Structure 1
Amino acid sequence: MAMNLKNSSSGGNLTSSPSYNSFSSLNLSGNSFNNGSGSGSGSGSGSNEYIPLCFSKDVFTSNTFEVDQFISDCRKRVNLESVQKDLREYSKHLDSELIELINKEYQSFFSLSTSLVGFDTILNEFSISQSSIKSEIKSFNNEIVKVRGLVEDKLNEKKSIEQKKKLLQLYISISETLNNMNHLFDQLYQLTHPNDFKKINNNNNNHTNNETNINDGDVLELLIDRISNSFYQIQNQMSSLTNDELKFNIFQSLSLKIMDLSNKIEEKVEPIFKESLKRFINVNNNNKEIVDDNNEKQNKYDERILLVCLKTFQTIDKLNVPYKLFKTLIVKPRLAQIVSLRNLEINKSTTDGLSQIYNSIIEFLKNQCSSFFDISNLINNNLKEKQSNNNNNNNNNNNNNNNNNNNNQINNNSNNNNNNINNNNINNNYNNNIILYNNYNFISQSVLPEIDESLGFFKQIFATGIPDLFYKNYYLTFNFIQSIEVNFLTNKELLTQFRQSSSYSSLWKKWNFAVYFQLCFTNIAQHFEFNYLRIPLFDQLTLPTNNITNNNNNNNENNNEFYLKSTDGLRLSMDKCWSNSNFIFDLSSKFFKLFLQLIARYDTFISDTLIPLELELQQQLQQQQLQQQQQQQQQQQNIGDSVIKITPKSPPSLSNQSPISSSTTLNNKQSSPENFIYIISDIYKIKSKISTNYKELIIKTIGNHQNQHEILNLINDGILESCKTLEQLIPRISIIIENHLISKCLEPIEIISTLRSTYRMTNKPVPTKPSIYVSNLISPLEILINNKASSLHFIPPEIKLNWAISVLTPVTESFKNAATNLIQSVTQSNDIINKMVKKSKPTTTTSGGDMSDMDKISLQLYLDVDKFGLYIQKFGINLLTFEPFLGLKSIVEPFKKLILNQNK
């Protein structure tokens, strides 16, 4: 097939080669082209478009076009020669389109070429002008930089001068304040001259003289307050300095002067505070007496003086001075009178007076010192308000600083630097205010150290070797400290300082908790060990009496809650751990550990009793298995001889589990394995108490704590683990009980083999009732569960059901094996006898009818098995799901027709 592409501008055509035409019909690229008429010839109108065959023309305009990828894609479809030819044809097509476009827009191209004539000259002139402007701008910029540098130097110089000026002004201001304070000290000296001071502080009965003294006292209060404020002002001014500025000589000298000033203030104010404190406390000591107006005014005056003095000591950061004075002048003399050997030992060699000593201290603090504490609390509240205001002011200043910084961005650098200096000063002042002030806490710094020191002289208070006295005195001290906290430390910060003080720690370190707990541990643990655990388990077992009614039984159970003395001893020992006469909160973890150890010791006591029984039981089971193997071998060897005899002897036990003899280890008459049921009852009772009553008691006794959630988890985990340990005893005891019951229940199983001799050639009538041995198979289990276990309400029903299943499973299997062996033995004997006498019917028949001896034996087995199933149902076992009985039932089920035939 031929293909022609005509160029409208040149009139030429492009003819594809034969090799190229061979691919035209395949349309490999998925593209098609339209030549206008469909005949393959161009129309000359320029509407024909060339479309390559082996690639898309859009691939060249793609942003991800790569030559290697393009060649690789094309090679997958055609060979390289076809690609090359197709590219040439497409290139020629593009050239023809370009020529056509030029011809079509020729007028536009011509106009463009005409308009560009002389344009290069214009561009050259513009370039020269631009270079000239650029050089001018560059030179102007250099001048600006020089001027800017000069201006910045001048501004920095001005800034330095202003900063030095401010420092000089600050120095002058501080110096003037120091000079003013010296004048204040002179006035204070004149006012507090010994003669004048006595006159001011003397309590005269003359009303006129007293009014004069009070007026002078107002001046004294004002002077101390001015001294305090002036010193505070100096501190704020010094705090505005940076570390580098403080290194200047003038400010170093000022720092030394300020230190001397602080000592001078202390020296001047201390005697005033001392005298006012004595007078103020003495007035409060006599508050029960009638005081006149003059004394009341004097008391108000002393209160104001104490307030300004405390404020001053707080300002100069010397709180230890009023602490020391209050302790030495007020607390120590009074405690020396209260805490004495005479008051402590009301009765000789006792500490009966400790409670009265603590009450006297509380009364002293309430009656004589509470007013002074109110003054210190007032200062603390003012400090709190001041700090709160400073916080608000600081926040406002920060907001203003942010606004100023935004506005100052368009201002000069000098203003910015000045604003930054002012802002730093404000922030430094704020931080300094926080550092300067500390709360007063006279309880933790003056009262408690003296109490700790006074009590330390009397070692008998801490009674390390006497647990009861130790506990009594400890809780008296604990309640005393708690009373101080409640009455005088209402502020949370003061309470924290009180509990973190060294005197608080020292006071509690005097109580030797380790020795006390060791004594409690010895008392509780040894009493439990020697009084309860040294007695053999069954010797301490108290069995309930039989000849009592249900009501009496319930009353007996209430009076004697546990059957084992060791269980009751465990309860008493656990009670002691959390009793009000032993428990101390600081030993909570140790008492809880002792609580768990007591439970573990009780568990070990019972477990040690079970170990020899379990070993003996294991040995008996091994002997039983060996005997069974020997019996089976002997039975297989002698089976032929045993079936030839017409009346053989009763074979050995046909059960798969021979009876296990009672334990020889237990020689007590109460040590029957059946009595283990009372031990299980005790375990369930004490486990219930531990998981409910004692858990609530422990949580209530320990009380709320910071790590309450963590403590609750520890308590829950410990109690849960202990209860699991006790529960693990139940299966071990159950195995002993079950094996004992199995041995008892299997004792009548050999009677099954006697059915052969009962009906073999004896002309016995047809059986209509089950054998007596059936009830004997169930009797031991029935007595235990329905009689003994029925009165023990703490034994869960599922445990009783498990016992019944565990016991009846091997009993039923033994019943099945015995019945199977009996049927096989009788059948084989009949077959042999029939062969010997060559008769077609059984040797003997009953006189009452046509039923053979074999049928009678089979019918008796059916009646026995049916009755046995009724007994099993009484224990709550579903016969339809009890596999051992289903197997037994399947053996005798064919004999049911004998009953039907007899009824006919």
Structure 2
Amino acid sequence: MSIFSPEPAASTDPFQLERLAEELASRESSRPETSPVDLPVYTPLSHQNPFLSAENFDVEQFLLSRSYTSLQDLRTELRDYMATLKEALVKLINDDYEAFISLSTDLKGEGERLTNLIAPLDLLKLEISTSQAELRAIQEEIMRKLETRATIREEKALLHLLLKISESVTRLESLLSISNPGQEGEEDHADYELFKTSSAPTSDSNDEKSVQISLNPVFVPYFGRSPANTAKHINRVAVEYTQLFYHASKARSENCAFIDEIQWKIDRIQSSISSDLDAFFASTLSAITAEAKLSELEKSKIIPDLTECLRTYDILGLWRDAEEILRAEIMRSFIKKTVFMGALSAPHSPLLPRTPSIASSFPNPNTSYSMPPRTPFTPFTAFSAQQSAFPSALGQSKSSFSRTLDDSDDLLAKLYIQILRFVERDLSSIMEIADKVSIKSRTSASISGYLQSDVKKEDSGFDIMANVIWNEVGTAIMGDLGNVVFAAGRPDEFRKNYELTQAFIRSLELLAPSPQAIESMRAHPVYSIFGKRWQLPVYFQMRWKEIVGKVEEALALPLESSRKINVDGMDTLLTPQAAAVWVALTACWSAEIYIPELSHKFWRLTLQLLSRYRGWLNDIIQQNSYSASVASAPGKNSETSAGTSTPLPERSSLDAFSADESLLHKYVLLIADIEILKSSTMMLWEEEISIMLPDMEDYEEDDYALNPQKILESTVLATTALIAPMSKMIISILTERCIGPLNTVNKMRTDLRGRKQLPTEPQPWVSSILRPLKSFFGISGSDGIGAILKDDHLQDWGGQVFENVCDKYCYHVTALRKAEEYLQKLQKGKKSTATFSLFGSAPSKDDEGKDEERIRVQLILDVHALGKDAETLNIKPMETQTFLALSKLVQRSLSESSEPA
């Protein structure tokens, strides 16, 4: 057992390192975790350093990358790196030195060997050049032989082509029975000169040409055939000719002299084909017309021949030739028989109703004018290009245009009906067949395109409606009937003829086989010239003078003010001026005057007429303006001050009354006419103008600058705005008449002085206050001046007059209060100075109070009676501010302050 006692635990760790370590660990664990600090990493210089291995060494970037190294240390490091590089270089040289030495030893004797190799190269080069020259010569020889063979092949093909042309010419001459007696060049030349002489154009007319065509001797062999075989034969010849023409075109592009030599034969063949086709087509047309007198079955058998002829014309591209034959054989002869200079010279039928003239429809200044019933005008509508079916214009389902012609007994309408019947009977089937042939040829590519290569696309195909029918009809009408149809200087006849002609053109368009035919007809020069012959601006100028002249004559008349007004005639215009304007407005859109192409001009004239009427009304108002003192009637004031009211001037002379009566009469007439004209104009817009104006759906409702309805409404509103100054003048005159009895209020004290009892009834003059207003509106039993305006203006005008009367009443009551107050002050002053009365005692205070009470009760009764009387005029007194102020004013005693509540 040790003699030493064991040491405590602290003696083994005198510095308490374990405790300190534990505390440090606990503190470290209690700290928040933070990102470790990146310390700079020392990288020694090497070949992998990016700054040293870069293509362009950047000193600044290299120094910045070694910023943590001092310059002395960097210099030392660079020197060490340079020594490393030198050592690596020496090592590399030592490693490859043995191979370098052996290379120089191995190259000994190679120079002689290279010299021996160069010697045979010149010989090889010479041999190669020789071989190349020989090959080039062989290639050129082969190319020459190939070109010669190609030329021979082309010449052979051309010879075959010329043989085909020769065979086609021979075949066609055989098919056409063309004799060819000689084969020598001189005989051919003589035949060619004979052909040129016989085919030279002459100055004969078209009729003579048609006769020559029908008697062509070349066509004689065909008469032995049946029509069907003849049509097929001609079609076969045409197909053969198209092949000949195609082959000749190809040969001509090769500049073959053979084609120039036989060109006269090709021309002779073409002339023969055309002549034969024209003759057969003319005979076919003659067979299907009404003059041939064939049955429908026989005509139906000829239709295939006609179709074959038109198909042949289409193959050859001779559309205009076919149309010329059609014009000469059918259309021109009919036009000459139908449309001539004396066709419309017969007198008109007595049953034909005369077109009413606008001059006879203007008003008489001495009569009243009721609105005439309007006949809606049906404008011309454009033909729909999308219409698939083309109904007959003369069938059971007639169009509106043909019905217009049928319903008229005019000679021009009968002439148009005759033309339409002829076109439908003799030409409609031909047009349909030609249109089908043209459509089929456009959709199918054929060899005939070579024949049509020099023809414009828009000129290809048949166009019978434009070039045959309309060309003849339009030219004949303009040439023979122009003075009668276009009726220059006769507007009524012009309008009638224009309507009939437009109906005829639209009916003619309904007979067209397709919309394209209608477009071609409208694009035809004759159609354009025909449209210009209708001098629509001249027609409008004549109508303008006629309409405006009558309106100006009516506006120059004095305004009628002595004629009695018809109270029941609410749709009656009361003045000749308004009636003239209305007749002018309806005339612009009437069926006897309106023309759709002039819609914009008539629309502008309508607005001008309304503006002119507004200007005339404004002049009337300015001429009859009331004097400034009379016109300044008291205005509306909810809090009327009795002390500040100003009395209206009095006008009691007989002349002033007569002038006011005349002015009232004039203004009533004008206001009634303005309101009737406003409603009638807007009704005219809804029923007629909006339908006649074109493209109404293109205008937006909010577009005031372009919307015709908004423009018309603003023009009408500008006219109705003139009612306000006239209404103000009427209210001023009626107010002056109604306030006359109020002057009796100032004499009320004198009238009530001898009475001992309180009044129980209103004074008699109270019932006469509103009597002029009742008399004006005809409420008192007799017809008043403003009775026609009672329904529209009684409440408005009566209310304003009643307010003015109440305002004037307040003025008189206030004046009465001031007079009573002054008398009371005067009597009090006398009592204070006088001690006794020589002739008796002065009036007592009780008597004065009774007089005041009698006046107040009388005023209350009078005002209450005035309110009751106003209720008979549909006026609500308790809703009138001036009447309420008047009632409060009379309720107070006379001893109170004169200021109103």
The TM-score range, normalised by the shorter chain, is 0.5 to 0.7
* TM-score normalised by L of structure 2: 0.63
Alignment partner, residue 109 of structure 1:
none
Contact persistence 2:314–2:437 (CA under 8 A): yes
Report the equivalent of 2:274. Answer: 270
**Cα distance between partner residues in 1 of 2:794 and 2:842:** 49
Query: Which residue of structure 2 lines up, in the alignment, with residue 886 of structure 1?
Result: 884
Answer whether contact 1:577 1:591 (CA < 8 A) is retained: yes
5 Å-filtered alignment, 1:282-431, equals 282-286=286-290, 289-291=293-295, 299-300=302-303, 302-314=305-317, 319-347=319-347, 353-383=411-441, 385-386=443-444
**Partner residue, 1:709:** 698
Provide the residue aligned with 1:738 in structure 2. 731
Equivalent of residue 596 in structure 1, options 607, 612, 630? 607
Deviations 1:236-291 (A, max 9, x none): x99xxxxxxxxx97499999999999988864443234213321221122367245
* Structure 2 CA distance for aligned equivalents of residues 191 and 793 of structure 1: 100
2-side partners of 1:763 and 1:724: how far apart?
Answer: 59
Q: Which amino acid aligns with 1:749?
A: L
- Does residue 677 of structure 2 align to residue 677 of structure 1? no
Q: CA-to-partner distance for each residue in 1:54-75, whole Å, 9 max, x for gaps?
A: xx96999xxxxxxxxxxxxxxx
* 1:829–1:42 CA distance, 2 compared to 1 (3 A): closer
For residue 896 of structure 1, report the CA deviation from its aligned partner: 12
- The one-letter amino acid of 2:855's match is I
**TM-score, structure 1 length as denominator?**
0.62
> Who is 2:9 aligned against?
none
5 Å matches for 1:569-588? Answer: 569-588=580-599
Relative to structure 1, the CA distance from residue 215 to residue 324 in structure 2 (aligned partners, 3 Å threshold; closer, same or farther) is closer
**Counterpart Cα distance in 1 of 2:458 and 2:149:** 28
- Give me the whole-angstrom Cα distance separating, in 1, the residues matched to 2:339 and 2:162: 48
Shift of 1:501: 2.3
2: CA distance, partners of 1:162 / 1:818: 135
Q: How is 1:4-19 mapped onto 2 (pairs within 5 angstroms)?
A: none
Aligned to 2:831: 837
Q: How does 1:129-208 map to 2 (within 5 A)?
A: 180=164, 183-193=167-177, 197-202=218-223
Code of the aligned partner of 1:517: F
Q: Among residues 575, 579, 587, which one is paired with 1:564 in the alignment?
A: 575
Q: Post-superposition shift, 1:198?
A: 3.3
User: Residue type matched to 1:190 in 2?
Assistant: S
Q: Partner of 2:662: helix, strand, or coil?
A: coil
Q: Does the C-alpha gap of structure 1 residues 689 and 459 become closer, same or farther in structure 2, counting only changes over 3 Å?
A: same
Uncovered stretches (5+) of structure 2, i.e. residues with no partner:
1-19, 41-67, 70-90, 96-144, 179-215, 351-408, 635-640, 836-840, 897-901
Instruction: For residue 795 of structure 1, report the CA deviation from its aligned partner.
Output: 4.8
Aligned CA RMSD, in angstroms, stands at: 5.6
Alpha-carbon distance between aligned partners in 2 of 1:492 and 1:360, rounded to the nearest angstrom: 24
Question: Alpha-carbon deviation of 1:735?
Answer: 1.3
Question: Aligned equivalents of 2:146 and 2:860: distance in 1?
Answer: 125
Query: Residue 769 of structure 2: which of 777, 793, 817 is its match?
Result: 777
What one-letter code is carried by the residue in structure 2 that aligns with 1:332? R
Are 2:701 and 1:690 aligned? Answer: no
Q: How far 1:694 moved relative to its partner? A: 4.0
Q: Conserved in 1, the CA contact under 8 Å of 2:806 and 2:882?
A: yes
Q: Sequence identity of aligned pairs in percent?
A: 18
| 1:617 corresponding residue in structure 2 | 627
Which one of the candidate residues 732, 741, 758 is aligned to 1:766? Answer: 758
Deviations 1:613-636 (A, max 9, x none): 22x3336457x99xxxxxx9xx99
For the pair 1:719 / 2:712, whether they are aligned, the reply is yes
Quote the Cα distance in structure 2 between the aligned partners of 1:172 and 1:811: 124
Instruction: Name the structure 1 match of 2:807.
Output: 813
Asked if 2 retains the 8 angstrom alpha-carbon contact of 1:570 and 1:598, the reply is: yes
Alpha-carbon distance, 1:170 to partner: 10
CA separation of 1:294 and 1:51: change in aligned 2, threshold 3 A: closer
Instruction: Pick closer, same or farther for the CA change 1:216–1:667 going to 2, 3 Å.
Output: same
The one-letter amino acid of 2:726's match is: I
Q: 1:455 & 1:816 partners in 2: Cα distance?
A: 84
Structure 2 residue corresponding to 1:508, chosen from 531, 534, 552: 531
SS of alignment partner, residue 343 of structure 1: coil
* Residue-by-residue CA offset, 1:459-478 (whole Å, 9 max, x unaligned): 23211111111112212211
Q: Is the 8 A contact 1:685 1:794 kept in 2?
A: no
Where does residue 370 of structure 2 map in the other structure? none
Aligned to 2:354: none
Tell me, yes or no, if the aligned pair for 2:175 and 2:237 is still in contact at 8 Å.
no
Q: Where in structure 2 are the equivalents of 1:533-552 lying within 5 Å?
A: 533-539=555-561, 541-544=563-566
- The residue that corresponds to 2:617 in the other structure is 606
Unaligned runs of 5+ in 1: 1-34, 61-90, 93-116, 122-160, 203-208, 239-247, 391-427, 545-552, 626-631, 637-652, 899-904
**Separation of aligned partners in 2, 1:858 and 1:252:** 135
In 2, Cα distance between equivalents of 1:876 and 1:38: 109
Output the amino acid matched with 2:698.
Answer: H
The equivalent residue for 1:468 is: 492
C-alpha deviation, 1:497, in angstroms: 2.2
More helix by share: 1
Using the TM superposition, name which of 174-183 and 450-459 deviates more. Answer: 174-183
Per the alignment, do residues 189 and 756 of structure 1 end up closer, same or farther by CA in structure 2, a change over 3 Å counting?
A: farther
CA distances 1:675-702 after superposition (whole Å, capped 9, x unpaired): 5334322221121111123431223445
8 A Cα contact 1:331 1:446, kept in partner? yes
TM-aligned CA distance change 1:301 to 1:166, over 3 Å: farther
Does the Cα contact within 8 Å between 1:745 and 1:780 map onto a contact in 2? Answer: yes
- Quick one: distance in 2 between partners of 1:690 and 1:619? 37
Does the 8 Å contact 1:228/1:311 carry over to 2? no
Q: 1:732 to 1:227 in 2, by over 3 A?
A: farther
The more displaced of 303-312 and 508-517 is 303-312
- 1:727-783 Cα offsets, whole Å, 9 max, x none, are 112112211211111111121221111113223x43453222222332222222233
Q: Is the 8 A contact 2:348 2:411 kept in 1?
A: no
CA distance in 2, matches of 1:471, 1:336: 26
Instruction: Look up the match of 2:744.
Output: 751
CA contact (8 A) 1:276 1:305 kept: no
Decide whether the 8 Å contact of 2:665 with 2:785 is kept in 1: no
Name the aligned partner's letter for residue 176 of structure 2. T
Count of aligned positions: 671
Contact 2:486 2:497 in 1 (8 A): yes
Residue in structure 1 matching 2:853, options 855, 880, 890: 855
Once structures 1 and 2 are overlaid, which stretch shifts more, 511-520 or 318-327? 318-327
Structure-2 change in CA distance of 1:234 and 1:42 (3 Å): farther
- Structure 1 residues 383 and 739, CA gap change in structure 2 (3 angstroms): farther
CA distance in 2, matches of 1:169, 1:662: 128
1:479 aligns with 2:503: yes
Give the 3 Å change call, closer, same or farther, for CA 828–794 of structure 1 in structure 2.
closer
- Higher RCO, 1 or 2 (CA under 8 Å, sep at least 6)? 2
Match of 2:241 in 1: 227
- Closer/same/farther in 2, CA of residues 40 and 444 from structure 1, 3 Å limit: same
> 1:486 Cα shift?
0.8
Q: Distance in 1 between matches of 2:617 and 2:247?
A: 81
Matches of 1:856 and 1:492 in 2, distance apart?
A: 98
Instruction: Assess if the C-alpha contact under 8 Å between 1:324 and 1:446 holds in 2.
Output: yes
Q: 1:769 aligns to what SS in structure 2?
A: coil
Match of 1:347, SS state, is coil
Residue type of the alignment partner of 1:689: S
Q: Is the 8 A contact 2:664 2:730 kept in 1?
A: yes
| Residue in structure 2 matched with residue 453 of structure 1 by the alignment | 475
Bigger drift between 722-731 and 666-675 goes to 666-675
C-alpha separation in 2, matches of 1:326 and 1:710 = 48
- Give the distance between the partners of 2:478 and 2:663, measured in 1 at CA: 62
Distance 1:815 1:889 in 2: 10
Instruction: Give the residue type in structure 2 aligned to 1:275.
Output: A
